[in-house]
C-alpha cells in the first residue's frame, strides 16, 4: 500500500481566483490520477498525471482550467483556475497499485481537498 497526503485539506476561495492542490506519495509510483467528487455524486476522473509529459485529460476537462504538474514519481499538483461556484467539490488524487495475488491494478486515494468557491 501507499501513504498519500494532500494539501490543503480544505479551502474557501473567491470566484476568479486559482487554487493549487498538492499530492504527495511516500513511494515512487508510475500512475497518478486526479478525480473530482461533486456534492452527492460519485467520482469523475479529471486526468491522468504523467511523469515527464503532459497530463491526459478526460472528456469535459481541459488543461487551461485544470493544469497538472508531475515533476517526479512521488508528487503531483492540480490547479483549479479561474474558479466559479460550480467548481465547489472534493478533489482527490490517487495512485495505481498492483494487487499481487491476482495481478490486478487498482487505486489508492488521498484524503481529498474540499473546495468551496464563493
Partner 1 sequence: RKEVEQDPGPFNVPEGATVAFNCTYSNSASQSFFWYRQDCRKEPKLLMSVYSSGNEDGRFTAQLNRASQYISLLIRDSKLSDSATYLCVVNMRNQGGKLIFGQGTELSVKP
Q: Which residues contact partner 1 (rule: CB under 8 A)? A: 31, 33, 41-45, 48, 56, 92, 94, 96, 99, 102, 104-112
Classify the C-alpha dihedral 6-98-47-42 as positive or negative: negative
Which of 17/28 has CB closer to partner 1? 28
**What 3-state DSSP class applies to 118?**
coil
Smallest distance from partner 1 to CB 16, Å: 27
Q: What's the CA gap between 53 and 98, in Å, rounded? A: 23
Which of 67/112 has CB closer to partner 1? 112
Taking the mean position of all CA atoms in its chain, how far away is CA 13? 18
Other Cβ atoms closer than 10 A to 96: 15
Smallest distance from partner 1 to CB 31, Å: 6
Smallest distance from partner 1 to CB 82, Å: 26
Amino acid at each position: 500500500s501507499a501513504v498519500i497526503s494532500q494539501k490543503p485539506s480544505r479551502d474557501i476561495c473567491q470566484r476568479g481566483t486559482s487554487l493549487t492542490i498538492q499530492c504527495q506519495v511516500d513511494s515512487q509510483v508510475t500512475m497518478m490520477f486526479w478525480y473530482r467528487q461533486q456534492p452527492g455524486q460519485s467520482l469523475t476522473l479529471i486526468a491522468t498525471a504523467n511523469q515527464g509529459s503532459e497530463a491526459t485529460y478526460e472528456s469535459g476537462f481541459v488543461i487551461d482550467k485544470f493544469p497538472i504538474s508531475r515533476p517526479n514519481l512521488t508528487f503531483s499538483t492540480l490547479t483549479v483556475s479561474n474558479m466559479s461556484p460550480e467548481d465547489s467539490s472534493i478533489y482527490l488524487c490517487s495512485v495505481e497499485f498492483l494487487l499481487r495475488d491476482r495481478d490486478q491494478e487498482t487505486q489508492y486515494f488521498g484524503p481529498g481537498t474540499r473546495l468551496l468557491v464563493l
